[in-house]
Chains A and B, each alone.
Chain A
């Protein structure tokens, strides 16, 4: 990433938010109930598998790692495969660290940036601002025979961008698919790690965050 200014992909951030917000809801919950359960008191760790189908790649790319969230508002992602990377959001700061190349990037959430729009969604969810969410996205919530599905798409234009959150009926979300307007897709398969205690997650986040910022 030589030369790049290291902005976080707001889609990734939005993905973080959905993971931690929606993880312990059942499929039958309406969006309003989802919003009500936004604020989490506990720290959470989720393992994920990531599949990316990109136009400029010959074959799909695969990655895996862990995602963390704390009550203090830090959201952190540690990619373990194919190589280790760290990314985090802390309030308005966006941070990125590539340990192999020892490259760190730091940025700010900037208004007016189209990619920030997705993060605005995240903020709307964190603040339980359903009105704001609905003002930005069209939300469709449907139950299929075996799975429930919530689709977020842009209200302003038919850009082709969408985020699809789904899970088995009456069960928790296990899949998030992000579809870009140009056809690129990213699919996350999720699994909560219930073996770790809240305190352990918090300590892990502290350690990783310290590594991220170079402490």
Chain B
């Protein structure tokens, strides 16, 4: 077989081989938070990690209600249905547990069985004050009265066990306020709905596994509903719901965008080149480029994100430029000269490729985890495309010399821009000069939520379900950090009294921290020691007198034995049913622990101010965290844009050794970006870091046009501009296809880049004067 045939065989065999490798080796991920959330400090990183893979992320909140068809709205949901549903849900593969969040019996039993043994440790945050009151004559009488009341109460049989171990009922002292909280939970419960929490084994952001679980949940519910005399409805929320919805969105977008851009590119190619052979070569090259990029990304990161593929698919619009330029110039000469012609235009392509890579590398340096992938993906794609274009493509172009079909209007625009250049330039300068005054009204996006309006229905759903369950405001808490769990607990103990004061003043309705479930070891030991100091003979006699006065048994209750020395630790607590209540309130990392004190309705400013004086404590809002990230990303993106442009300027200066030429080459790109900014200043578009990322890409791509036009290595500016037109069309189509995506982020990129490359292309003949155009 001739050398050419081997080359051809290898070239056309690569796509299926690479496709097989991709299917077998590549690990795809779709969690959006892993793409954009990184965190600037240790707390943010720990919280972000908890949001992505922590226990809470693996939980669903299920809300079962009566169907609208049900006649009797006032009747509660049938217990047997809920019981049966709970049992069947527990049997689903991957489900760890299902429980009623309002069910308190397990918690009450834990209080009785566990906490009685630590009565001398956990009874108070302010032991001195409390013990002084307890051991006064009035205080002991009150305790004795409490014992009597409890023994006679409907819960008497249960309290008896606690009272025998803890006659002074110190255990209850800490849980006083909790009784009010639990009572509120019961009374706030909406009788029209029964809520369940379902915990899964796999991470909430493992969308493919969670899709299966959601399907099973719905299936179980549907089957049970059919056999029930009443009809019920099921609503779900939780991190896995958002994850699956995002994945579905992304998959849909990737499929849609890929198909659309492939079809449109095919049409463009066919109309312009009228050659199946050319189409086959170019598309084979693109498939090799995309699949190789995916595999290289997998090699570097051990996974490939769905957004990388979605954004990377737009790389097609960039990498297609190099073979297009080569084909357009090579087709205009005989086969024997094609390699030479390719070698002639190659330096321009390399410079163009390098400037584009600079743009992507700047993106990768942003710190957004996902964009690092896009940078690697794009860089490897561009390099592979350049190499194949230079060393393989010309050798495969064995067709006869042809004249490329001219792109409509391009010749006309070239003519107009040449003959009316001064007039057009004046208009452009005036337009930019006057419009620039409006740039002040550019509106920056502050709320990251605006990037995902397509998920608004889920957010509303989430809010509606949570309102049925609890008065805790989601996403806002007092964050207490410490280098260890013990230190974090100690700091939290400084926060509780402040929160209590705020509660008294009405600035907050309630708060949900780790007290009384757990306090620091230091505080527990201090409580033990202080209590021992009060257990004098005199106090014990007073206690016996109080018991006698109330008719209680002095023999059984008169001896106050609180000598136990052990303290309660977090690990021990997390092994009890109480863990389900408190695991949302503490995150233990390698080098630090975060305690989250959740809040009822509150005044954010009051909280913020109150926490200012406590070291290690701050008012935290998830929304604010994301918005701070937005602000950071925006500032970073602005900086990277400046750095990217600066590096490109240095590169061009080194190449052209002329400031005028450098500025001319860069100006179409910069002006395209400026014109887009002007348009937004009039339309009121909220500019985000994603828009700035788009700018970076516009400049990186449009600089290529400036370079090709400036250098015109083929010697025929009309042919060069025709080649650029085809490049521009393919880029505009590739990025423009993203406009059909459901994801707002992708649509933003589409609008910015598609418009940018068109403007950059149009401006080239205006800005860069060529004397040898045909």
Are both chains from one complex? Answer: yes
B557 CB-CB contact with A under 8 Å: yes
Known contacts A2-B146, A58-B552, A110-B103, A96 near B179 by CB under 8 Å: no
Question: Is A3 in contact with B178, judged by CB distance below 8 angstroms?
Answer: yes
Quick one: which of A88-140 are within 8 Å of B by CB?
Answer: 91-92, 96, 105-108, 110-113, 115
Nearest B residue to A11 via CB reads: B157
Question: Is B556 in contact with A55, judged by CB distance below 8 angstroms?
Answer: yes
B94 CB-CB contact with A under 8 Å: no
B83 CB-CB contact with A under 8 Å: yes
Quick one: which of A1-24 are within 8 Å of B by CB?
Answer: 1-9, 11-12
Question: Is A96 in contact with B172, judged by CB distance below 8 angstroms?
Answer: no
B176 CB-CB contact with A under 8 Å: yes
Known contacts A9-B154, A108-B186, A2 near B176 by CB under 8 Å: yes
Known contacts A3-B178, A57-B151, A92-B76, A180 near B553 by CB under 8 Å: no
B156 CB-CB contact with A under 8 Å: yes
Question: How far, in angstroms, from A9 to B163 measured CA to CA in the complex?
Answer: 17
Shortest CB-to-CB span from A127 to chain B, Å, is 13
Known contacts A58-B548, A105-B183, A108-B186, A4 near B163 by CB under 8 Å: no
Contact indicator per residue, chain A 32-68, by CB within 8 Å of chain B (1) or not (0): 0000000000000000000010111111010100000
Contact indicator per residue, chain A 168-182, by CB within 8 Å of chain B (1) or not (0): 000000000000101
Question: Is A56 in contact with B556, judged by CB distance below 8 angstroms?
Answer: yes
Question: Is A56 in contact with B157, judged by CB distance below 8 angstroms?
Answer: no
Taking CB atoms, residues of chain B closer than 8 Å to A59 are: 551
Question: Is A1 in contact with B552, judged by CB distance below 8 angstroms?
Answer: no
Question: How far, in angstroms, from A115 to B112 measured CA to CA in the complex?
Answer: 15
B517 CB-CB contact with A under 8 Å: no
Known contacts A3-B172, A180-B157, A56 near B552 by CB under 8 Å: yes
Question: How far, in angstroms, from A182 to B151 measured CA to CA in the complex?
Answer: 13
A184 CB-CB contact with B under 8 Å: yes
Question: Is A54 in contact with B151, judged by CB distance below 8 angstroms?
Answer: yes
Count chain B residues whose beta carbon lies closer than 8 angstroms to a beta carbon of A.
42
Question: How far, in angstroms, from A1 to B178 measured CA to CA in the complex?
Answer: 13
Question: Is B154 in contact with A55, judged by CB distance below 8 angstroms?
Answer: no
A-B CB contacts (within 8 Å), total count: 99
Taking CB atoms, residues of chain A closer than 8 Å to B154 are: 6-9, 12, 87, 96
B259 CB-CB contact with A under 8 Å: no
Nearest A residue to B186 via CB reads: A106
Question: How far, in angstroms, from A56 to B169 measured CA to CA in the complex?
Answer: 14
Question: Is B159 in contact with A4, judged by CB distance below 8 angstroms?
Answer: yes
Question: Is B151 in contact with A9, judged by CB distance below 8 angstroms?
Answer: no
Nearest A residue to B554 via CB reads: A58
Contact indicator per residue, chain B 146-165, by CB within 8 Å of chain A (1) or not (0): 11111111111111100110
Taking CB atoms, residues of chain A closer than 8 Å to B152 are: 52, 61, 63
Known contacts A56-B553, A58-B553, A5 near B76 by CB under 8 Å: no
Contact indicator per residue, chain B 728-742, by CB within 8 Å of chain A (1) or not (0): 000000000000000
Count chain A residues whose beta carbon lies closer than 8 angstroms to a beta carbon of B.
36
Question: How far, in angstroms, from A112 to B83 measured CA to CA in the complex?
Answer: 11
Taking CB atoms, residues of chain B closer than 8 Å to A9 are: 153-157
Question: How far, in angstroms, from A6 to B153 measured CA to CA in the complex?
Answer: 9
Taking CB atoms, residues of chain B closer than 8 Å to A105 are: 183
Taking CB atoms, residues of chain B closer than 8 Å to A11 are: 157
Question: How far, in angstroms, from A12 to B157 measured CA to CA in the complex?
Answer: 12
Nearest B residue to A109 via CB reads: B79
Question: Is B79 in contact with A3, judged by CB distance below 8 angstroms?
Answer: no
Quick one: which of B541-588 are within 8 Å of A by CB?
Answer: 548, 551-554, 556-557
Known contacts A56-B151, A106-B183, A5 near B552 by CB under 8 Å: no
Taking CB atoms, residues of chain A closer than 8 Å to B556 are: 55-56
Taking CB atoms, residues of chain A closer than 8 Å to B178 are: 3
Question: Is A2 in contact with B172, judged by CB distance below 8 angstroms?
Answer: yes
Nearest B residue to A113 via CB reads: B105
Question: Is B179 in contact with A5, judged by CB distance below 8 angstroms?
Answer: yes
Contact of B553 among A55, A107, A182 (CB under 8 A): A55
Question: How far, in angstroms, from A92 to B108 measured CA to CA in the complex?
Answer: 19
B182 CB-CB contact with A under 8 Å: yes
Shortest CB-to-CB span from A10 to chain B, Å, is 9
Taking CB atoms, residues of chain B closer than 8 Å to A1 are: 146, 149-150, 153, 155
Taking CB atoms, residues of chain A closer than 8 Å to B153 are: 1, 4, 9, 96
Taking CB atoms, residues of chain A closer than 8 Å to B552 are: 56-58
Contact indicator per residue, chain B 180-209, by CB within 8 Å of chain A (1) or not (0): 001100110000000000000000000000
Nearest B residue to A181 via CB reads: B157
Question: Is B183 in contact with A6, judged by CB distance below 8 angstroms?
Answer: yes
Contact indicator per residue, chain B 132-153, by CB within 8 Å of chain A (1) or not (0): 0000000000000011111111
Taking CB atoms, residues of chain A closer than 8 Å to B103 are: 110
Question: Is B553 in contact with A5, judged by CB distance below 8 angstroms?
Answer: no
Question: Is A57 in contact with B551, judged by CB distance below 8 angstroms?
Answer: yes
Nearest A residue to B172 via CB reads: A3
Taking CB atoms, residues of chain B closer than 8 Å to A92 are: 76, 79
Contact of A3 among B151, B158, B160, B175 (CB under 8 A): B175
Nearest B residue to A87 via CB reads: B154
Question: How far, in angstroms, from A155 to B539 measured CA to CA in the complex?
Answer: 47
Nearest A residue to B516 via CB reads: A3
Question: Is A4 in contact with B105, judged by CB distance below 8 angstroms?
Answer: no
Question: Is A58 in contact with B551, judged by CB distance below 8 angstroms?
Answer: yes
Nearest B residue to A108 via CB reads: B186
Question: How far, in angstroms, from A70 to B12 measured CA to CA in the complex?
Answer: 87
Output the residue of A1, A63, A113 with the most chain B CB within 10 A. A1
Known contacts A55-B556, A57-B551, A4 near B155 by CB under 8 Å: yes
Quick one: which of B684-734 are within 8 Å of A by CB?
Answer: none
Question: Is B160 in contact with A182, judged by CB distance below 8 angstroms?
Answer: yes
Shortest CB-to-CB span from A81 to chain B, Å, is 12
Output the residue of A7, A12, A91, A96 with the most chain B CB within 10 A. A7
Question: How far, in angstroms, from A111 to B179 measured CA to CA in the complex?
Answer: 21
Shortest CB-to-CB span from A188 to chain B, Å, is 14
B104 CB-CB contact with A under 8 Å: yes
Nearest A residue to B556 via CB reads: A56
Question: Is B176 in contact with A3, judged by CB distance below 8 angstroms?
Answer: yes
17 contacts between A and B (CB under 8 A): A1-B153, A5-B183, A7-B108, A7-B154, A7-B155, A9-B153, A9-B154, A56-B553, A56-B556, A57-B151, A57-B552, A92-B76, A92-B79, A107-B104, A108-B102, A110-B105, A115-B158
Given contact pairs A63-B152, A106-B183, a sample of 13 additional A-B residue pairs in the complex whose CB atoms are under 8 Å apart: A2-B146, A3-B175, A4-B153, A5-B104, A5-B182, A6-B183, A7-B155, A54-B151, A61-B551, A96-B153, A105-B183, A180-B157, A182-B160
What are the nearest 9 A-B pairs in CB distance?
Answer: A9-B154, A3-B172, A3-B179, A3-B176, A113-B105, A8-B154, A110-B105, A3-B175, A56-B553
